[in-house]
Amino acid sequence: MIKQQPAQIYLATARGQRQTQGYNCWSTFNFGNYQEESKKGFGSLFLFNYHILAPKQSTTIVTQKDSLQYFLPLYGGIKYINPQEEKETLIITEQIEQIVSNEETTFELSNPFDENVSFLQIGFNAKTTSFETDYLKFDFEEKNKLISLFKNNTATAFIAQFDGRKELHYQLKNKQNGIFVYIINGAFEFENRLLESGDALSLKETEVVEWESLSKNAMLLLIEIPLV
């Protein structure tokens, strides 16, 4: 008999959406005017947004709590501008920006390119005194393996790209933690559940998770998160 862990699926079609001219945002968890009882977040992970910015467009991000946020370009790149720190950084694919924010933090993200760009915004509740804003890199050196994005006492995150019909598993570092997975592209069978682009899944009370990619160039993001 297959053991069923406590799980929640977040369908792409059920995300909150905010749209203005040249800008789209889809929210897996509660964000802005999108508020649902079942979308309160998972452990310290309270924010998971997928953004698309049209050419030469920008959006202003206003944070309202102490948090650790990450911006991960999926296609193209974004310019991160923090007027308080007088900092401007271009973040492109295979790069990620770690941002320490509080209730007074405001910054701008813009698209300097001539085509649409897409990126993820990931936010964790955190005591930010132990972190610094940082610019991180990773490398898709090979497919069909987990590649580290970041690791700290708030979360451990990986990204991976797969050929079709490839299987992999992940052993949790701490069995008290939970797993959150987001499908960036393609389709997967993840713990006997079909997940497609934009879908997400959270799992508790598990020590090992297994999955199989069902399409070529399928890509996912996997995060191990302390729940206590």
The domains found in the chain, sorted by start residue, are: 16-137 (2.60.120.10), 140-225 (2.60.120.10)
Output the pLDDT for position 24: 96
- Tell me the residue type at 218: A
Strands (E), 28-111: 45-53, 58-62, 67-75, 77-82, 87-92, 95-101, 106-110
pLDDT digits (tens, 9 = 90+) for 58-104: 999 888 788 999 999 999 999 999 877 777 899 999 999 998 888 77
pLDDT at 8: 96
**Residue 141 vs residues 70, 83, 90: alpha-carbon distances, Å:** 21, 35, 22
Q: What is the pLDDT of residue 1?
A: 40
pLDDT at 82: 82
List, in sequence order, every residue forming a beta bridge with 96; answer none if it has no partner. Answer: 136
DSSP 35: -
In the predicted model, residues of the chain with pLDDT beneath 70 are: 1-4, 128-130
